[in-house]
Amino acid sequence: MTRQILVLNGPNLNLLGTREPAQYGHTTLADVEAQCRAHGQALGYGVECFQSNWEGALIDKIHESGRLFREGVLLGVVFNPGALTHTSIALHDAIKGVETMPVVECHISNVHAREAFRHHSWISPVAAGIVVGFGIEGYLIAMDALVRKFGSAG
Ligand code: CA2
């Protein structure tokens, strides 16, 4: 059975490539997801992609991921929570509730070089690791990190 990686994106990331190119580049979310699927295949993993603008839908997806992780189907999650990074104790609790499932937090922009309100993350304390500021390449770097650290050869 091919194990899976979930690439999870939060609010407004469906707008990627359509606005704010100076901050987030020209690549659309569909292109990012296609790159993640191709990269997963090269790494020997299946990739599921999910984006929602709703906090509750992201929480439900994390709960479902926890079940798949416990069943050995899912390796872990690459998660860009968007602005919910800076506000959501509920997402923090959801990830904490899944205990050993690794979640790599990923941000396209370098949040630490931006406004002060982006410097705090509720996700970082419960993340396995963080990839910040490498543009959309960060999603692929985060997948590499998951596989290197938690994959069967890791
Ligand atoms: O750098 C990142 O990946 C962020 O997670 C992106 C969030 C932002 O609130 C975080 O502080 C950092 C914003 C996502 C919105 O993405 C857009 C893309 C194109 C046009 C408008 C918004």
Region 89-107: mean pLDDT is 97
Is 24 considered catalytic here?
A: yes
Using the predicted structure, report yes or no on whether residue 154 has a pLDDT greater than 60: no
State residue 141's pLDDT score.
Answer: 98
Burial letters for 97-124: b for 16+ Cβ neighbours within 10 Å, e otherwise? ebeebbbbbbbbbebeeeeeebeebbbe
Taking CA atoms, 63 is separated from 16, 68, 127, 149, in Å, by: 26, 9, 15, 22
State residue 99's pLDDT score.
Answer: 86
User: What does the chain come to in residues?
Assistant: 154
Using the predicted structure, report yes or no on whether residue 80 has a pLDDT greater than 90: yes
Q: Which residue has the higher pLDDT, 143 or 22?
A: 143
Q: Three-state SS for 43? A: helix
Whether pTM exceeds 0.85: yes
Domain coverage including residue 49: 4-153
Report the C-alpha gap between 129 and 31 in whole angstroms.
Answer: 24
Residue 132 CA: which ligand 1 atom is closest? 1
State residue 35's pLDDT score.
Answer: 98
Q: Which residue has the higher pLDDT, 21 or 66?
A: 66
Q: Which of 39, 92, 107, 139 is catalytic?
A: 107
Is 86 considered catalytic here?
A: no
Q: What residues line ligand 1, using a CB cutoff of 6 Å?
A: 12-13, 15-16, 19-20, 24, 80, 82-83, 85, 107-109, 111, 118
Region 21-36: mean pLDDT is 95
Residues facing residue 78 across a β-bridge: 7, 104
Residue 12 CA: which ligand 1 atom is closest? 15
Region 88-115: mean pLDDT is 97
The CATH number covering residue 17 comes to 3.40.50.9100
State residue 153's pLDDT score.
Answer: 61
Q: Count structural domains, the chain.
A: 1
The contacts of residue 140 (CB under 8 Å, 6+ apart) are 35, 36, 39
State residue 72's pLDDT score.
Answer: 96
Region 40-46: mean pLDDT is 98
For 143-153, what is each residue's pLDDT tens digit? 999 999 999 86
CB 76 within 8 A of CB 149: no
